[in-house]
Structure 1
Amino acid sequence: MKTRVRGILVTPDNGVLTIKRVRPATAPYWVLPGGGVENGDASLEAALLREVREELGGEAHIHSLIHVVDGAEERQLFFLATIESWDLAERTGPEFTDPSRGEYHVQEVPLTAAGIASIDLKPEQVAELLAEHESGVFDLVDLRPEWLASAR
């Protein structure tokens, strides 16, 4: 099973950084920054920090693991983090050099129910979680101790 990490990156303006995906013959949709865990990653958190550097040219500060989505072929772990700044000129991910993968537009969306509802954020479970806990997202339980114990 492939493991992916995603960052719910809260900005100083109380927004969330998203990536608008534009692909031929597909309606635009939004995802959270992140990607696959690689063999050289020291931990899940290290994988997310690498992905944030590659996709945003930024440094995140991880707070907690707040959601896990298990699919038939992959598991996605959603980490809550803060990010102070990012520089799109510093992006280095392979997705930016392959036109066949479509377009990746970074967009800051207000961390409010209305802000989240204004985009088609995937997966829907995470969009619902953010909209429901817009003002208390940092109060959500950190699942890392429970998840790591069950993953052994």
Structure 2
Amino acid sequence: MADSSKLSLISILGYVTVGLFSIIMILQLLLAAGVLPVSMAWGGRSTELTPLMRLSSLIAIIIFCYFTYMIARRSGILGATPPSRLINLGSWLVTVYLVFNTIMNFLSSSSAERWIFGPISLALVVLTLIINSNKTPNQGKQGHPEPKK
């Protein structure tokens, strides 16, 4: 009984994580489109939206799509089979990236980056740590299916 409630919690946390990644991707899209001021991101160093800044935001969206896939697989909300070792490793790399990203967000000269992206990034660190620390359905110790009895 405890395993199914744990799975439900991990699945819920997976959906929350996917939602937060989606918010970040939408914000990046709005930055690339020039709807939001570029000074609120990328360390607050630039006030002009250059083609390179647009491209950087679009690349960030692609990276966050990859992160979203990794965490969705790891949390068990995507895919019918247990995540592979590559997915498990990738999801931990997402967490490591998010730790550094969180630090940089809070050190940013942009108040919007500190107060919007910083807390979202910190929440993502906590969520991915919890998701990565738990087994997904039918997952053994090495990330492979447990043998059938």
Shorter-chain TM-score tier: under 0.3
**Which protein is bigger by CA-based radius of gyration?**
2
Q: Which has the higher helix share?
A: 2
TM-score normalized by the length of structure 1: 0.25
Q: Which has the higher strand share?
A: 1
